[in-house]
Structure 1
Amino acid sequence: MSSRDRSENERFHGFADRSTRPLTRLAYLLCGDQHLANDLVQNCLIRLYQAWPKVADKDTADAYARKVLLRCWLNERRRPWRRAEARDGEVPDRPAPETDIARGVHLKEVFRDALAQLPPRQRAAVVLRYWAQHSVTETAAILRCSEGNVKSQSARGLAALRTALSTMNALEELRS
């Protein structure tokens, strides 16, 4: 192995070490399943490794990795065996409402559930715009759509998220 190849490998491994956690958080927000998020990040890093010599600007590798991760997630959503899988199991235990830590965990769980109810394109637009804090232009480039489409998907996604959260809140009040 030449010294150039070794330095490229070292740069990729450094990048992978540095970006695995943020990519995993993003993948989890997209899919809502920790195991699938880990698989998506692994697939993303494999694809990125294959394209690493072609990545001209190593400074934009983070944005490129997020784009590859999004593509991996969208490809995963298109697989027919994923559509047939039902994930409707109930979680038997709920956190105790009297503690601040349990309340924070419960709110995260409620938010993840609401986010999981969004259609894939709306979820991607909301996560990229408001969690990853990409501009409309950057989000449009990542999703390969127009800026107007990003704006409408984001607006619809936020509206659906508000509706889902208010519905979940109303159900929680009924249970109490």
Structure 2
Amino acid sequence: MQLGRHKRDVDEFEAFVVASQTSLRRTAYLMCGDWSVASDHGQEALIKVYRHWPRLRHLDAVQAYARRTVVNTVIDAQRRRSSTELPVAEVLDIGGRAVRDHSGATADRDLLNQCLAELPARQRACVVLRYYEDLPIAEVADILGIGEGTVKSSTSRGIAALRTIWADASGDALSLSGRSE
């Protein structure tokens, strides 16, 4: 009997992974700005979700737990990052030729990701979850384990900082939700 229950849990988890891994990876990418690192964070978050899978009962609760786990995983990794580790603009292969990074579809998207990376972790998480994931304030507060007022103020400060960083980098005003802000 226990074996059948375990098999059902594994099947349900596999279905959850298929349905949610793209969204979790995208959230991690928006938090860290690197697709390969985002994949690692997404996988680490899914491992953590799997460990708690038998206790998670409702699909909404699982998705919220997974989203919170991926955000916390990215923030924790940024805290642990070695002071000797330095990001580089381009990677050279063994032959000395530059290997182009094709992860960004447009220059604006790359610039926005660079601007997001300059925000403090909490502000970046609030902006990503509110504007990109389009989550309500209460759900963002629950995911991050903070109050709704803190979500509002962190999002407001993050957007204000993002506008300034964007304007300095591009010379243009930042447009949110299809309208000029």
The offset of 1:144, in angstroms, is: 1.2
1:6 counterpart = 2:18? no
Corresponding residue of 2:21: 20
Contact 2:75 2:121 in 1 (8 A): yes
1:42 counterpart = 2:49? no
Cα 1:72–1:60 shift into 2, 3 Å: same
**Which protein has the bigger helix share?**
1
The percent identity for this pair of structures is 36
C-alpha distance in structure 1 between counterparts of 2:42 and 2:122, whole Å: 19
SS of the equivalent of 1:87 reads coil
Q: Output the aligned Cα RMSD.
A: 2.4
Q: TM-score, normalised by structure 1?
A: 0.84
C-alpha distance in structure 2 between counterparts of 1:51 and 1:151, whole Å: 30
Count matched residues.
Answer: 163
| Structure 2 residues without counterparts, runs of 5 or longer | 92-97, 173-181
The offset of 1:52, in angstroms, is: 0.2
Corresponding residue of 1:75: 76
Corresponding residue of 2:89: 89
C-alpha distance in structure 2 between counterparts of 1:58 and 1:158, whole Å: 31
Residues 47-88 of structure 1: CA deviation (Å, up to 9, x unaligned): 11110001022343212110111111121122152x442225
Corresponding residue of 1:62: 63
Cα 1:59–1:135 shift into 2, 3 Å: closer
Counterpart amino acid of residue 158 in structure 1: I
Counterpart amino acid of residue 111 in structure 2: V
C-alpha distance in structure 2 between counterparts of 1:34 and 1:94, whole Å: 10
C-alpha distance in structure 2 between counterparts of 1:159 and 1:67, whole Å: 24
C-alpha distance in structure 2 between counterparts of 1:29 and 1:11, whole Å: 27
Cα 1:153–1:59 shift into 2, 3 Å: closer
SS of the equivalent of 1:134 reads coil
Counterpart amino acid of residue 129 in structure 1: R
Task: List structure 1 runs of 4+ shifted beyond 3 angstroms.
Answer: 90-95
C-alpha distance in structure 2 between counterparts of 1:94 and 1:56, whole Å: 40
Q: TM-score, normalised by structure 2?
A: 0.82
SS of the equivalent of 2:52 reads helix
**Which protein has the bigger strand share?**
2
Counterpart amino acid of residue 122 in structure 1: Q
Contact 2:90 2:101 in 1 (8 A): no
| Structure 1 residues without counterparts, runs of 5 or longer | 96-101, 172-176
Corresponding residue of 1:98: none
C-alpha distance in structure 1 between counterparts of 2:148 and 2:28, whole Å: 23
C-alpha distance in structure 2 between counterparts of 1:12 and 1:168, whole Å: 43
Residues 88-127 of structure 1: CA deviation (Å, up to 9, x unaligned): 53698799xxxxxx9x611111111111111111100100
